[in-house]
Amino acid sequence: MESPRQRNALRTIMDEHEQLSMVIHGMLHFVRLIDKGEKAPGLMVFRAMLYYIREYPEHVHHPKEDQYLFKLLRERTNELDDTLVELEYQHTLGESLVRELEHVLARYELEGSPVFPMFRDLVEKYATFYFSHMRLEEEVVLPAAKRLLTPENWAVVDAAFVGNLDPFSGANLKDDLEQLFLLIVNIIPAPASLRPAI
């Protein structure tokens, strides 16, 4: 049976995935509007989305997965070794794709429509990549964690994901990102089923 701690950590991971998904859907919506010749918000909004995507996974979400969830799972089993190596590689790959997106966005701002197809394709590629990353975690890693981690393991993972062992220190980055997230989802409507319960 799941302990309350287990539910807290898992809930937090799923909530963070849901928020990342909403912002990525916002990015897709943005380029698809431009692609159809419809009015899209200014590129500053896309920059805000990219900033959120860059900061949230890199500073808040991935380090906790790598340093706590994946590390403790490795101590409990070898059965996930290949999957965890792949997911850690994807964390690094995701960061480089975001850097590429920033670069192509800058070119799009400077050079205009000739660069748009490259920009659109990279957003589509990033979305496909990141949705599949989260699916692998949700369908393989989280069920294995439920099965294999001990209550002591969960106490550590839970503490990390609810903020007591935040890998970043000082500034209220998470609060700032929450504010930015609300701003983004209010500017670009995500599909109704994905809207946050505010």
Angstrom distance (rounded) from CA 22 to CA 18: 6
Contact 130, 94 (CB under 8 A): yes
* Residue 113 CB-half CA count within 13 A: 4
CB of 17 to Fe ion, least distance (A): 6
Binding flag, residue 24, Fe ion (CB under 5 A): no
Q: Which helix (H) or strand (E) element contains residue 37?
A: none
CB of 113 to Fe ion, least distance (A): 34
Binding flag, residue 141, Fe ion (CB under 5 A): no
Q: Site for Fe ion (CB under 5 A): which residue of 6, 50, 108, 137?
A: 137
CB of 94 to Fe ion, least distance (A): 8
**Which tokens hold the place of 19?**
């928020």
Stretch that binds Fe ion, among 44-52, 57-65, 149-157, 164-172 (CB under 5 A): 57-65
CB of 65 to Fe ion, least distance (A): 5
Stretch that binds Fe ion, among 66-74, 96-104, 108-116, 133-141 (CB under 5 A): 133-141
CB of 62 to Fe ion, least distance (A): 5
Q: Give one DSSP letter per residue of 94-124, joined into a string.
A: HHHHHHHHHHHHHHHHHH-GGGHHHHHHHHH
Binding flag, residue 69, Fe ion (CB under 5 A): no
Q: Give one DSSP letter per residue of 118-176, joined into a string.
A: HHHHHHHHHHHHHHHHHHHIIIIIHHHHHHH--HHHHHHHHHHHTTTT-SS-SS-HHHH
Which residue, 94 or 108, has its beta carbon nearer to Fe ion?
94
User: Applying CB under 5 A, which residues contact Fe ion?
Assistant: 65, 137
